Amino acid sequence: MFISNKLEKLIESLSRFPGIGKRTAQRLAWYLLSQDKSFALELAETIRTTVEAFQPCSLCMMLSESDPCPICSSQTRETDSLCIVESSADIEIIENMNEYKGQYFVLGHLLSPIDGYGPDQINAAALKERVANLTPRELILAIKPSAEGEATIHYIWEIFKDQEICITRLSTGLPFGGDLEYSSSNTLKSAWERRYGV
């Protein structure tokens, strides 16, 4: 079947979503084209306005419509612990547990030199500044147990190992290579409660 350049570009764009392969991207593209044009145009406008509204919080790097973000600006959040996560989406997952009331820091990426993600790309300088200003008693590394995750955990431990900070990580109840978003609430809660020192 002949596919136009515009349609091919749409398929390629959709296939960049996590978990979306080429075939699923093709189905989504054809679905968008087959609907009333107002549906796709409204979706495009919603994406545009939402993307333009969100920016990284200057304190924790979480994507937010405000700076500082609602968590950093809250007067009820505890300051004795800092939970370090890979992405802003991980914060929502942890918040849904209703177990944690401390602060967060978003790395944005995990260390992966082969993919071009080094200390600068994981906001290492901003993390050091955040810890220096917050002076937490505990750093909780809520990072997925993968090769990149382990390298990132080790790197962060090296940075703060000589400071008087308890550094913990989630229990291995999470499968190696698994993302937080694919873990059940009970699994994540168990891993959270059984976190241990790095």
Q: In what order do the strands lie in the sheet with 81-85?
A: 103-106, 81-85, 138-141, 166-169, 196-197
Task: Kindly report the number of other CB atoms within 10 A of residue 84's CB atom.
Answer: 25
Q: Give me the mean pLDDT over the 89-101 stretch.
A: 92
Res. 26 pLDDT band, cuts 50 70 90:
very high
Query: In this predicted structure, what is the pLDDT of residue 10?
Result: 95
Q: Pseudo-torsion of CA 108, 112, 118, 119, nearest 10°?
A: 60
Res. 148 pLDDT band, cuts 50 70 90:
very high
Task: Kindly report the number of other CB atoms within 10 A of residue 159's CB atom.
Answer: 16
Query: In this predicted structure, what is the pLDDT of residue 196?
Result: 62
Backbone φ, ψ for residue 178 (5° rounding): -85, 145
Query: In this predicted structure, what is the pLDDT of residue 145?
Result: 80
pLDDT tops 90 at residue 46: yes
Please tell me the pTM assigned to this model.
Answer: 0.80
Q: What letter does residue 58 receive in the DSSP assignment? A: T
List, in order of start, the domains of the chain with CATH numbers. 5-53 (1.10.8.420), 56-197 (3.40.1360.10)
Query: In this predicted structure, what is the pLDDT of residue 9?
Result: 95
Q: Give me the mean pLDDT over the 171-176 stretch.
A: 56
Q: Give me the mean pLDDT over the 96-113 stretch.
A: 93
